Amino acid sequence: MTKADYESLLKRIEKNISKDAKDTQRFELPAVEITWEGKKTILRNFGDFPKALRRDTNIILQYLSKEFAVPAERVGEKAIFVGKRDPDDFTRLFKIYLKDYVECPTCTSPDTKVEKENRISFLICEACGAKSTIKGKYA
């Protein structure tokens, strides 16, 4: 690799990083706090996520449980999952949830709410007023 190649690679990486940083600035997901107890993973601040995402606690729990394919139960602000999970596993799922169920596809605002009509869920954007269908089943 020549020096010029290397520099252009560095530039590309820098560009990607700053793009990611901008994306996450818009909406701040709470940091995942977990502890492991035996073969269980306890998400200590589970309660923060439905609040931040402005979605139903049970739906968020169901979503995580189904995606991890393990049973989960809620105890106060905590959620307990069977099996060992890394904080990154949770962060990844919350980011997907944010993208698929919370962000407006039109203007990418996270200020949205869900409305159901004839068992079909719609995402209503409070920023731009767009009404979009939600494809997933955890709305």
Give residues in contact with Zn ion (CB under 5 A): 104, 106-107, 109, 125, 127-128, 130
* Cβ proximity to Zn ion, 61 vs 123, nearer residue: 123
Shortest distance in whole angstroms from residue 104 CB to Zn ion: 3
Which of residues 91 and 108 has its CB atom nearest to Zn ion in the complex? 108
Decide whether 34 or 104 has the Cβ nearer to Zn ion: 104
| Other beta carbons less than 10 A from residue 4's beta carbon | 8
Residue 124 CB, nearest approach to Zn ion (Å): 9
Q: Give the shortest CB-123-to-Zn ion separation in angstroms.
A: 9
What ranges in 30-107 are assigned the alpha helix state H? 48-53, 57-68, 87-97
Q: Closer CB to Zn ion, residue 10 or residue 127?
A: 127
Least distance from Zn ion to the Cβ atom of residue 26, Å: 12
Separation between Cα atoms, residue 50 and residue 79, nearest integer Å? 12
* Long-range contacts (CB closer than 8 Å, 24 or more residues apart) made by 128-135: 128/104, 130/104, 130/105, 130/106, 132/104, 132/105, 132/106, 134/100, 134/101, 135/100
